[in-house]
């Protein structure tokens, strides 16, 4: 987890209800320290500070309907300034009337990756976290580019932390809106798995440690409104929880 405690921003290993501070480089040599905090005492932050965020469009058949599968991962950019952490507010900006949730597994890059093969791509993945690709559908349909539909401030909830060493391509992904399950599907149903997405992206842009790739959303989505609580849960990882409010 990346967190703030006692005025300092640092990383730590989550151990139950506590987090143990680490020293060194998250993406290199690191070791645990004797310093621990209760999770209730710290402010969780977006798990990394990425140079770029990529996101998959149409990576689940259940989301695409009758449209044919893409022969390769269809990627677009979200901007780092859209990111917010667990428990921060999603803000619906003025001018849009149709903002939706999108539960997603988010890939966290751990090593610089350029032209990596699918067979070796997982060696460049630090782990995964939960994400919510907030999307203004009216802007998405009306604009030539998705820069504001997908990249407006607060449109990238991400967290609460990174988990490594699990089967990223077979996890249960679930979204709850005010406690009601709205999306529920296993990542094994992705058209392009984690290794394929990382390999394809690395052929075109150099992926840096800490970069994030949203891997697409399953099923159908519906609008969110001020006052809603949206939870994205990824099996073996945790729960990303955000409240929705309107722009002031």
pLDDT in tens, the chain (248 residues): 999 999 999 999 999 999 999 999 999 999 999 999 999 999 999 999 999 999 999 999 999 888 888 999 999 999 999 999 999 999 999 999 999 999 999 999 999 999 999 999 999 999 999 999 999 999 999 999 999 999 999 999 999 999 999 999 999 999 999 999 999 999 999 999 999 999 999 999 999 999 999 999 999 999 999 999 999 999 999 999 999 999 99
2's enclosing H/E stretch is strand 2-5
For position 69, what pLDDT does the model report?
A: 86
For position 208, what pLDDT does the model report?
A: 98
62's enclosing H/E stretch is helix 61-64
DSSP three-state, residue 93: coil
Residues β-bridged to residue 16: none
d(CA 158, CA 241): 9
Residues β-bridged to residue 100: 135, 223
Is the overall model pTM greater than 0.85, yes or no?
yes
Q: Where are the alpha helices (DSSP H) in 86-192?
A: 137-142, 147-151
Taking a C-beta distance cutoff of 8 angstroms, is the pair 93, 129 a contact? no
Please name the residues in contact with 126: beta carbons below 8 A apart, sequence gap of 6 or more.
Answer: 26, 27, 108, 109, 110, 111, 162, 164, 209
């Amino acid at each position: 987890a990346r967190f703030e405690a006692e005025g300092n921003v640092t990383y730590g290993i989550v151990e139950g209800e506590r987090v143990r501070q680490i020293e060194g480089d998250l993406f290199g040599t690191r070791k645990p320290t004797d310093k621990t905090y209760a999770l209730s005492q710290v402010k969780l932050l977006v798990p990394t500070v990425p140079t770029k965020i990529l996101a998959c469009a149409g990576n689940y058949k259940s989301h695409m309907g009758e449209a044919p599968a893409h022969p390769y991962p269809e990627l677009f950019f979200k901007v780092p300034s859209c990111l917010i952490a667990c428990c921060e507010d999603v803000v619906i900006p003025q001018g849009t009337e149709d903002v939706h949730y999108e539960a997603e597994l988010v890939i966290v890059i751990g090593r610089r990756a350029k032209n990596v093969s699918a067979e070796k791509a997982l060696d460049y993945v630090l782990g995964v976290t939960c994400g919510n690709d907030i999307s203004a559908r009216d802007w998405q349909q009306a604009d030539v580019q998705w820069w504001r539909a997908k990249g407006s401030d607060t449109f990238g909830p991400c967290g609460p932390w990174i988990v490594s060493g699990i089967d990223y391509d077979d996890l249960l992904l679930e979204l709850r809106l005010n406690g009601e399950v709205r999306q529920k599907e296993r990542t094994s149903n992705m058209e392009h798995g984690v290794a394929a997405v990382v390999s394809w992206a690395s052929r075109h842009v150099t992926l840096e440690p800490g970069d994030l790739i949203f891997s697409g959303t399953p099923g159908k989505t519906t609008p969110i409104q001020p006052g809603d609580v949206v939870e994205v849960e990824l099996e073996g990882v945790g729960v990303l929880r955000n409240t929705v409010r309107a722009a002031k």
